[in-house]
Chains A and B, each alone.
Chain A
Amino acid sequence: MRTLEQTTQEVLDLAAKHFQLPAGSLAPADDFFKKLGIDSLQTLEMLSRIENHFGIELPDYEVQGVSDFRTLAERIQSRL
């Protein structure tokens, strides 16, 4: 079982890879809309990648209103 820290780090790595950013350039508290300059649709695409990686389903309502990596990792952790 992953710890929350491990999950958070994996989310950050996946997001960096998905948006072709250098590893380590994202932080847990980052607002992904601002930091990545992405819109809600691009966020949904990133979520699909994250779901595949963790082998879980994140219902839309679970991620509604979430805009930082830490909260996103918490929502993922609760479904692992």
Chain B
Amino acid sequence: MLDLSKYQSIGQALKDALDQFANEVCLIEADRERENERLTYCDFKERAHPLARGLQDAGFAAGDRASIIMTNQCKWLISAYAIFFAGGTLVPLDYKLTPDEQWQLLKHSGASVLITEYPIWRQLSTSAGRAAATSVRTILVTEAPANVELSGARRWEEFRGAGEPIFVSRARKDTACIVYSSGTGGRPKGCMMTHENYLEQCVALTSLYPFWPGVRYLSILPTNHAIDFMVGFFGPFTCGAAVVHLRTLRPEYVREAFPKYKITYVSLVPLVLKNLQKGLQVRFDGLSPAKRKIFNALVAINKALTKSRPRPGISRLLLSQVHEAFGGELRAIIVGGAFTEPRTLQFFYDLGIPVANGYGLTEAGTAITVNDLKPFRADTVGKPLPGMEVRIVNPAADGVGEVSVRSKTVMAGYLGDPELTAETIVDGWLMTGDLGRFDETGHLLLSGRKKNMIVTEEGKNIYPEDVETVFESLPVKEFCVFAANYIWPKRSMTGEKLVLVIHLERGQQYNEELRQDINACNNRLLNYKRIHGVVVLDEDFPRTASLKIKRNVLAERLASLDSASAILHL
């Protein structure tokens, strides 16, 4: 691994990695049974440099912002490197957002370059939101069919400058990426992540979960996501490891990828991990009674032998069939994006497959705590990573309070929102809005949220303000969306739901017609953003002088209601 303490920027570290590991494989891209690409670090450099030069020829300079909206594929990483090489700031956006949402964030970020894929551009180019994002001057589109008109965009494959690009150095405190943690509907939260944030986080994470040449990381989580950017790009590249991309994320192709590419690490969201567990459980349940007995005995022996620490060699020997299905090289599954149920973690650990369970948020530079497996603890989210100071603010009698973090990995602030930055980073401490406590061994246990938001099992952060716009046409006096857990605190991090609070017009009834109206609005939201119930409140909502709803006052009022009877299910 490169000694990252010597580096000032992501671009500088990656530049050296491409030379140091020139002959190692860095990227494999597969689509179903087909392998599209297999690149060495040297090949990668040969692809990226002409693009970097092309960007520079187009006037792209230090500090300029370039956005990538792509599914996981080789060109994502090649483009990102070209942007860093040219001294740019990367704005990775979620390809699953709607085109209007993407334009809104492009406008907010001030990006002058957009790099995207043809299917995404087809949607983006016809979206009304395009008119607002006037800062975007250069648009590069990958994989566009021959002879199609690109509405002002240029072909990525043909966008090449002549000659070598000039490397542009950046300082540790300069912004490397603007990562949106939320805010598509209201107040965009663009986390300004510095080069130092990534360099420090990479050192901390790889001290627990190392990469080296020959390691293969299966990249499934979107690379715009903070976790995959770190463990599916920057981490493996600075260690000479390889990243495997799948263009088709159907469960059967993901399953096949493990043995086919001898995967060492993979990151998953809890939903996918649970699905894997379900699939394995069905197979175990299908064993004959005699085989099941032997299997259970082997699991029991494995549990006893791995009680204090993982022993991959022994586990692979004892439970060879399970491990062969995962390719026989899997060292750990990294799970993130949302809270994972302890029994799912324990299920995998008992099979000899450690799950690197942790806790983090984009604002903190990805991970704050990670399970160090010494020993494995399914009931906690692990201990703080090296370099992380974590404290519990205003703890109650049971020790539970708000988790706050101070570290070199904490973001510089929210882009263009000093007010929100000041609310979130207080005296150098990042207030996470999550509730938890430390146990006597220094492990963090999470127990709920202080903030008005939910996190789905797919790792999606949903802020109520972001979904409210779709309900604007409702024929009610006023409405507001809340996370149920925020109003009626529940000591849980799973099964979180949004509720719509409505105040009806005088004489109006909550009837079938209104319920259908609400459902129609709700169906316009992506499935994971939908509300799950309605609360009818027969009084005016408290408002500020500028007529904004006082959400915290309204939440206190709602808290006095009994949630079981107050929430009407749709």
Chain A interface residues toward B at CB < 8 A = 31, 33-34, 39-41, 44-45, 47-48, 57, 59-62, 64-65, 67
Instruction: Tell which of B32, B117, B119, B527 touches A62, judged by Cβ atoms closer than 8 Å.
Output: B119
State whether A60 touches B247 (Cβ < 8 A): yes
State whether A45 touches B248 (Cβ < 8 A): no
- Chain A proximity of B454: nearest CB distance (Å): 15
Interface residues on B, range: 20 to 34
Which of B247, B272, B275, B458 has its CB near the most chain A CB atoms (within 10 A)? B275
Question: When chains A and B are docked, how far (Å) is the Cα of A31 from the Cα of B248?
Answer: 23
What are 11 pairs between A and B in contact, CB < 8 Å?
A: A33-B527, A34-B527, A41-B251, A44-B249, A44-B251, A45-B251, A47-B250, A57-B32, A60-B247, A61-B117, A62-B119
- Identify 19 new A-B residue pairs, CB closer than 8 A, beyond the known A40-B458, A57-B32, A67-B527: A33-B527, A40-B271, A40-B528, A41-B251, A41-B271, A44-B249, A45-B250, A48-B250, A48-B251, A59-B247, A60-B247, A60-B248, A60-B249, A61-B71, A61-B117, A61-B119, A65-B98, A67-B523, A67-B526
Instruction: Tell which of A31, A44, A60 touches B71, judged by Cβ atoms closer than 8 Å.
Output: A60
- Chain A proximity of B219: nearest CB distance (Å): 14
* Interface 0/1 of B509-524, CB less than 8 Å to A: 0000000000000010
Hey, which chain A residues are within 8 Å of B247, CB to CB?
Answer: 59-60
Chain B interface residues toward A at CB < 8 A = 32, 71, 95-96, 98, 117, 119-120, 247-252, 271-272, 275, 457-458, 523, 526-528
Hey, which chain A residues are within 8 Å of B526, CB to CB?
Answer: 65, 67
Question: When chains A and B are docked, how far (Å) is the Cα of A33 from the Cα of B528?
Answer: 10
Closest 4 A-B residue pairs measured CB to CB?
A61-B119, A33-B527, A41-B275, A44-B250
Instruction: Tell which of A34, A45, A48, A61 touches B120, judged by Cβ atoms closer than 8 Å.
Output: A61
State whether B271 touches A39 (Cβ < 8 A): yes
A38: nearest residue on chain B (CB-CB)?
A: B527
State whether A48 touches B252 (Cβ < 8 A): yes
State whether B271 touches A31 (Cβ < 8 A): no
Instruction: Tell which of A59, A64, A67 touches B248, judged by Cβ atoms closer than 8 Å.
Output: A59
A67: nearest residue on chain B (CB-CB)?
A: B527
- Chain A proximity of B192: nearest CB distance (Å): 29
Question: When chains A and B are docked, how far (Å) is the Cα of A44 from the Cα of B251?
Answer: 7
- Chain A proximity of B445: nearest CB distance (Å): 27
Hey, which chain B residues are within 8 Å of A60, CB to CB?
Answer: 71, 247-249
Hey, which chain A residues are within 8 Å of B271, CB to CB?
Answer: 39-41
- Chain B proximity of A17: nearest CB distance (Å): 18
A44: nearest residue on chain B (CB-CB)?
A: B250
Hey, which chain B residues are within 8 Å of A40, CB to CB?
Answer: 271, 458, 527-528
Which of A48, A60, A62 has its CB near the most chain B CB atoms (within 10 A)? A60
Hey, which chain B residues are within 8 Å of A44, CB to CB?
Answer: 249-251
A65: nearest residue on chain B (CB-CB)?
A: B526
Which of A47, A62, A64 has its CB near the most chain B CB atoms (within 10 A)? A64
State whether B523 touches A31 (Cβ < 8 A): yes
Hey, which chain A residues are within 8 Å of B523, CB to CB?
Answer: 31, 34, 67
Which of A40, A45, A65 has its CB near the most chain B CB atoms (within 10 A)? A40
Question: When chains A and B are docked, how far (Å) is the Cα of A59 from the Cα of B251?
Answer: 14
State whether A64 touches B527 (Cβ < 8 A): no
B526: nearest residue on chain A (CB-CB)?
A: A65
Question: When chains A and B are docked, how far (Å) is the Cα of A52 from the Cα of B133?
Answer: 41
Question: When chains A and B are docked, how far (Å) is the Cα of A65 from the Cα of B117?
Answer: 16
Question: When chains A and B are docked, how far (Å) is the Cα of A64 from the Cα of B99?
Answer: 12
- Chain A proximity of B534: nearest CB distance (Å): 16
Hey, which chain B residues are within 8 Å of A57, CB to CB?
Answer: 32
Question: When chains A and B are docked, how far (Å) is the Cα of A67 from the Cα of B529?
Answer: 13
Question: When chains A and B are docked, how far (Å) is the Cα of A47 from the Cα of B98?
Answer: 22
Which of A34, A41, A64 has its CB near the most chain B CB atoms (within 10 A)? A41
Instruction: Tell which of B32, B96, B251, B275 touches A64, judged by Cβ atoms closer than 8 Å.
Output: B96
Question: When chains A and B are docked, how far (Å) is the Cα of A40 from the Cα of B457?
Answer: 11
Question: When chains A and B are docked, how far (Å) is the Cα of A1 from the Cα of B261?
Answer: 39
Question: When chains A and B are docked, how far (Å) is the Cα of A60 from the Cα of B251?
Answer: 12
Question: When chains A and B are docked, how far (Å) is the Cα of A48 from the Cα of B120?
Answer: 22
Question: When chains A and B are docked, how far (Å) is the Cα of A46 from the Cα of B458?
Answer: 18
Question: When chains A and B are docked, how far (Å) is the Cα of A22 from the Cα of B251?
Answer: 26
B456: nearest residue on chain A (CB-CB)?
A: A39
Hey, which chain A residues are within 8 Å of B249, CB to CB?
Answer: 44, 60
Question: When chains A and B are docked, how far (Å) is the Cα of A39 from the Cα of B272?
Answer: 10
Hey, which chain B residues are within 8 Å of A67, CB to CB?
Answer: 523, 526-527
Hey, which chain A residues are within 8 Å of B248, CB to CB?
Answer: 59-60
- Chain A proximity of B265: nearest CB distance (Å): 20
